[in-house]
Amino acid sequence: MAKRKNVLLILSDQQRLDTVSAYGMNSICKTPHIDQLAAEGMKFTNAYTPSAICAPARASVMTGLYPHKHGVIDNFTNIKEGTPLLGDCMHDAGYYCGYAGKWHVTPNKEPEECGFDDGKPFMGYGFPGSRVFKSLIFDQPPDNEPNYYEEYLKENGFDNVDVSHGFLGDNPALQIQEMFCKHEGPVESTIEYFVAHETNRLIDKAKDQDKPFFIWANFWGPHSPSIVPEPYYSMYNPDDIPEHPSYCDDLLDKPYGYYLSEKMWGLGNYGWKGFQEIAARYYGHCTMIDDMVGMIVDKLKAEGLYDDTIIIYSADHGDCLGAHKLIEKGAFTFDEIYHIPMVVKGAGTKDNDSFVYLHEVMPTILDVAGVKPPQPVDGESILPLMMGEQESNGRSEVYGEFHSHFYVGRQRMVRDHDYQLTFNESERGELYDLKKDPYQLHNVCYDPAYADVKKKYLDIMSKYMKELKDPAGTWFHRIKEFY
């Protein structure tokens, strides 16, 4: 039997597609190490997350399922008992399994309860700098004791590291989370360096095993607060960042929740200048993560493991970062948060434009191991697309879902290259003509000229809801003729 490949899955958090410079969408933000992976391998140009919320998306990676099936419908619910998990499956397939960084998959199980042999996770919401950086307002520390990042700082003489220049919105009811801070310490004292350091420790452990490895490395960033040191903090000039084409959106034809989300963050009074400041640190965060990817790649090469390892780099979802005047993610289905990067080295060398899902990483990694998911999953292995053995998977559209984040409001989205339809259960619908309106500024859902188009995409959504046994379908099918 041929030796099975190692698999390294690197997942960033809340990283926009256009910040990976290999995609050629952004002339400012630079990611040379990820670009090199894409140059040696391939990238998917139409990869989408099933849900643009952290835990639901990450649980989908672990299970290969949509959130309404695995049960993690927000950042605090658990994976349903009895659901087969990627870590368990890879462990059973004879792989050494390691985990580094942000967990945020399911709050009721730690990685070691999901098939991973070793790891120092950030449990719960899990920001390891909370209560460690004395000047940081953001207070969402890991649930686990000890805080492994805090231990690392103490062991390496960085225990007094702090932050400065915290940037918050001006909503007096939300003075609890900085958008960014300056990290007043060396790169080696940052959270992202700790994750890369942990990943390399796991690589050392894996090398001692007489079996292939599966390591899942999870960076916190560039999710806010972007806490970055020099040179990354000042690497990008805010004035160089052009206004996003949809920043002009008045949100008047959008669901009212979008307006409330914009007001909640309290960034409106800063204007685009405020988003330039945020984006400059976010870009610096992306480049710092890229350098950490380079550090991990160097380790694989030094240990003679690089050529035998498939590396998948992706993100759980994106960030509006000023698109539609919004920040982060939530109950909105814009491309900036659903369309994600997915770069693969070690499988094939031809880019692919098929519609693929983040949760298809699960059956794909099992395919590398030579096993199949123990139960049906939502999707299929995309290894043949990675390898160039298959040019297209024949998928003509993608389906996404949202349940709860800040407020409960089930939302479903279906989109192809021409149109996107969003079903908001108790709000107005959204329909965008993507060829005429790629930045989704003009909602034509109730324009009589688009009546036939709307009916077509309502029917497509109906098909997905029935096939997936989506519980949102009960209400949808009762009122879709009036929607």
- At residue 2 the predicted structure's pLDDT band, cuts being 50, 70 and 90, is low
Residue located via tokens 């036939």: 452
Task: Give the C-alpha distances (Å, rounded to integers) separating 157 from 122, 189, 295, 416.
Answer: 21, 9, 21, 52
Distance CA 100, CA 76 (A): 20
Instruction: Provide the pairing of β-strand 339-340 with 352-357.
Output: unpaired
| Tokens of residue 321, six digits | 């970062």
pLDDT at 175 exceeding the cut of 60: yes
- At residue 309 the predicted structure's pLDDT band, cuts being 50, 70 and 90, is very high
Asked if residue 366 lies in contact with residue 89, where contact means CB atoms within 8 angstroms, the answer is yes
Asked if residue 74 lies in contact with residue 56, where contact means CB atoms within 8 angstroms, the answer is yes
Distance CA 341, CA 272 (A): 25
407-421 average pLDDT score: 96
Other CB atoms within a 10 A radius of the CB of residue 77 amount to 19
Residue located via tokens 């050629």: 24
Distance CA 346, CA 277 (A): 37
> 6-387, what's its fold?
Alkaline Phosphatase, subunit A (3.40.720)
Query: Average pLDDT over the chain, rounded to whole?
Result: 97
Q: Which 3 state secondary structure label does DSSP give 230?
A: coil
pTM flag (> 0.75): yes
315: phi then psi, degrees, rounded to nearest 5:
-140, 155
pLDDT of residue 210: 86
Distance CA 308, CA 261 (A): 46
Instruction: Provide the pairing of β-strand 118-122 with 162-167.
Output: unpaired
Q: Rg (Cα) of the chain, in Å, rounded? A: 21
pLDDT at 1 exceeding the cut of 60: no
Q: Side chain identity at 16, as an amino acid letter? A: R
Sign, Cα dihedral of 82, 86, 92, 97:
negative
- The candidate with the shortest Cα–Cα distance to 59, out of 33, 77, 38, is 77
- The candidate with the shortest Cα–Cα distance to 389, out of 357, 365, 354, is 354
Q: Where in the chain is the domain with CATH 3.40.720.10?
A: 6-387
Asked if residue 159 lies in contact with residue 168, where contact means CB atoms within 8 angstroms, the answer is no
| Residues 266-290: tens digit of each pLDDT | 999 999 999 999 999 999 999 999 9
Distance CA 380, CA 382 (A): 6
Asked if residue 258 lies in contact with residue 249, where contact means CB atoms within 8 angstroms, the answer is no
Distance CA 340, CA 348 (A): 20
Distance CA 240, CA 408 (A): 37
Task: Give the C-alpha distances (Å, rounded to integers) separating 435 from 416, 418, 440, 441.
Answer: 11, 6, 10, 12
Distance CA 278, CA 271 (A): 12
Q: Where in the chain is the domain with CATH 3.30.1120?
A: 416-482
Indicate the CATH number of 416-482 among 3.90.380, 3.90.550, 3.90.1640, 3.30.1120: 3.30.1120
pLDDT of residue 362: 98
Distance CA 288, CA 231 (A): 9
pLDDT of residue 3: 83
| Residues 355-387: tens digit of each pLDDT | 999 999 999 999 999 999 999 999 999 999 999
| Residues 423-449: tens digit of each pLDDT | 999 999 999 999 999 999 999 999 999
DSSP code per residue over 264-280: HHT-GGGHHHHHHHHHH
Strand arrangement of the beta sheet that strand 162-167 belongs to: 162-167, 180-184, 226-228
Residue located via tokens 């298959």: 390
Asked if residue 221 lies in contact with residue 288, where contact means CB atoms within 8 angstroms, the answer is yes
Distance CA 185, CA 191 (A): 11
233-250 average pLDDT score: 98
- Alpha-helical (H) ranges within 156-270 are 191-207, 256-265
